[in-house]
Amino acid sequence: MTSKSSNNWGILAQYEDPAALTHACEKVRDAGYSKWDAYCPFPVHDLNEAMGLPRSKVGWIVITGACTGLLIAVLLQWWTSAVDYPITVAGKPFWAWEQFTPIMFELAVLVSAFGAIFGMLALNGLPRLSHPLFDSERFLRASDDAFFIAIESKDARYSETATRSLLESAGATSIELIQEDQA
């Protein structure tokens, strides 16, 4: 590897509007790239399909969390109320599903909420303190009024010239090479 290519993080291309972005994403997807992403200031319909993204896996983490929470609640209450330290309260049975249901519900919700938040963060690779794209002046507009595609040089199909011409032919209004973080 030459020092130049190891410094190159990837390519950033800007598009005019959501329709152009969606169209360009379809082209990048069909060209078989895998290490790339699209950036826009608001959610764009159909972008998931245009990028060829699979369904998020967060749901499976959430349901695992829900089942775990439910199980913990049952074991916790069964052990404390019916086995280890049974106390008669208002003549209620030591073990009854009625009185344990609120805790079962709450713990299932709590652990699945943890699953949703932390699962989402983990799958997104967050938290992350810096990103090479933040060096680009132009990229600031991604949270305002501009639409971008960035393809990483780590992608097996990446080549500075071919990738650039693909993005240009897809209607990019500007193209920028992004360097790796200097530090």
Partner 1 sequence: MSHASSSGAGALLKGDNITAPKGSTLSMGLLGLGVICCAITLFMAFMNIRSEDAAAHLTGKQALAAFHIGFIITLGISLGALVFVMILHQVGAGWSALIRRQLEHLMAGIFPSVLLLAIPTVFAATLFVPGELFHWMDGHVHDDPIYQAKSAFLNVNFFLLRAVIYFAVWTGLSVTLYRQSLRQDATGDRWITARSRRLSSIGIVLFALTTAFAAFDWMMSLDYHWFSTMFGVYFFAGFAAPALGMLTLVLVALRRAGKLHGLVTDEHLHDLGKLMFGFVVFWGYIGFSQYFLIWYANIPEETSWFIRRRTDLWGWVAVALVWGRFVIPFILLMNRAMRRNPAVLSFVSVWLMLFFILDIYFVVRPEARVGDDGGALFTWLDAVGILGPILLFLGFLIRRIASSPLIPVNDPRLAESVGHKNFI
Q: Which residues bind partner 1 (CB under 8 A)?
A: 19, 43, 45-46, 55-56, 59, 63, 90-92, 98-99, 101-102
- Judged by CB, which is closer to partner 1: 55, or 128? 55
- Judged by CB, which is closer to partner 1: 19, or 117? 19
15: helix, coil or strand?
A: strand
Report, in Å, the least distance between residue 27 CB and partner 1. Answer: 17
- Judged by CB, which is closer to partner 1: 63, or 140? 63
Rounded Cα gap, residues 104 and 70, in angstroms: 5
Rounded Cα gap, residues 118 and 122, in angstroms: 6
Report, in Å, the least distance between residue 55 CB and partner 1. Answer: 8
The phi, psi pair for 8, rounded to 5°, reads -80, 115
Rounded Cα gap, residues 28 and 175, in angstroms: 15
- Judged by CB, which is closer to partner 1: 91, or 125? 91
Cβ 16 vs Cβ 42: under 8 Å: no
Report, in Å, the least distance between residue 98 CB and partner 1. Answer: 5
Report, in Å, the least distance between residue 87 CB and partner 1. Answer: 16
Q: Which amino acid is at 181?
A: D
